[in-house]
Amino acid sequence: MGRLPEMILIVSVFILLFGAQKLPEVGAALGRAIREFKKNMRETEEEIKKPIESEASPK
């Protein structure tokens, strides 16, 4: 419940900055950016884990 006032404030600031008509565009762009960021984080984690796992396995 404590997050509702914060969310209202954030949405209000976005509406003031971008206008109500640009808000869906900004939301979609933000969603794409977050998905791309998460994808890159997973790929980076996999690249880091591969050498560690290969070193840990007995030869």
The one-digit pLDDT tens for each residue of the chain (59 residues) are: 578 889 889 889 988 988 889 888 988 999 999 999 999 999 999 998 888 777 776 65
Instruction: Quote the domain boundaries for residue 37.
Output: 21-59
- Please indicate, yes or no, if residue 1 is contained in any of the structural domains: no
Q: Report pTM.
A: 0.61
DSSP state of 3: T
Could you tell me how far CA 49 lies from the centroid of its own chain? 22
Q: For residues 16-35, b (16+ Cβ closer than 10 Å) or e, as one string?
A: eeeeeeeeeeeeeeeeeeee
**Tally of domains within the chain:** 1
> What was the pLDDT predicted at 37?
97
Q: How far is it, in rounded angstroms, from Cα 44 to Cα 41?
A: 5
Q: What's the one-letter identity of residue 30?
A: L
